[in-house]
Amino acid sequence: MRKVGTIIDNLRKGEKAPDRHENPYLKEALGLSDFLLTQNELHEKYASLFTDMTKPIVIEVGCYMGKTVLELVENNKDKNILGLDITYKRVVKAARKLKRNSSENGRIAICDGKSFLSEIVPDNSLLGICIFFPDPWPKDRHEKNRLLKSDFIKLLHAKLVPGGFFWFKTDHEPYFLETQKFVLSSGFTPDDANDSSPLAKPRNIRGDSYETAFQKLFTAKGVPFYQRVFLKH
């Protein structure tokens, strides 16, 4: 399985980053250890990741710089929110915001979503999985790189509690239709009653709930997007 975050692991052990990896984000990662975990650290600490582990856990795979994680954290204090991404700069920027707010119910990890689900999370344990605007790989020859393939969707289903949700958004219609086909054949049912947000509506926000960074860009350009919430029974 793919592994990311080892440079931060090494820095936290006191080793020096290889020259080509010297950058201010890596140095900043050292001071964010309460909010930013590496894939290795998640393996060790997942069972005690949040201050109150009795709260249900919702994850966002591909959280980018944490805009949506931050909003989810602020609007859902009765839940624990974990954002995952695979690039150093993005996770540091996301964790920096959680530290600034001293968020007890929010964490970020530099971790591949597939490895996290298959190696770290117990079955029947997550309340929700959000995947918003995953890279669409629109060219036919790159389609194999898409995250949301049939096996991955079966994994999502296995990791959710009964009644848990998978919330998906994309601007790419073929990806939406293909994913929906896999999702519906994996034991999920659509939850259209939930008005496109299975979580608490953000306060003081107009328009669509939890507008992500990419969603904002597409909306500004007038590009339509698709979203649906699916439930595990």
Return the active site residues: 135
Dihedral Cα 166, 229, 165, 77, nearest 10 deg: 100
Annotated binding site for S-adenosyl-L-methionine: 60, 85, 112, 135
CB 114, min distance to ligand SAM, A: 6
Tell me, by CB under 6 A, how many residues bind ligand SAM: 20
Residue with Cβ nearer ligand SAM (132 or 165):
132
Q: Which of residues 51-80 bind ligand SAM (CB under 6 A)?
A: 61-62, 64
By CB under 6 A, tell whether 171 contacts ligand SAM: no
Q: What are phi and psi of 81, to 5 degrees?
A: -120, 125
Q: What are phi and psi of 128, to 5 degrees?
A: -155, 150
Longest distance between any two alpha carbons in the chain, whole Å? 53
Annotated binding site for substrate: 139, 171
By CB under 6 A, tell whether 167 contacts ligand SAM: no
What is the C-alpha to C-alpha distance for residues 107 and 49, in angstroms, rounded to an integer? 8
Helix (H) or strand (E) holding 75: helix 67-75
Annotated binding site: 60, 85, 112, 135, 139, 171
By CB under 6 A, tell whether 134 contacts ligand SAM: yes
CB 178, min distance to ligand SAM, A: 17
Nearest C-alpha neighbor of 65 from the set 214, 219, 166, 218 = 214
By CB under 6 A, tell whether 36 contacts ligand SAM: no
By CB under 6 A, tell whether 83 contacts ligand SAM: no
What is the C-alpha to C-alpha distance for residues 93 and 100, in angstroms, rounded to an integer? 11
Q: Which amino acid is at 89?
A: K
From 7-15, 32-40, 126-134, 222-230, span contacting ligand SAM (CB under 6 A) = 126-134
Interface residue list for ligand SAM (CB under 6 A): 61-62, 64, 84-87, 90, 112-114, 132-135, 147, 212-215
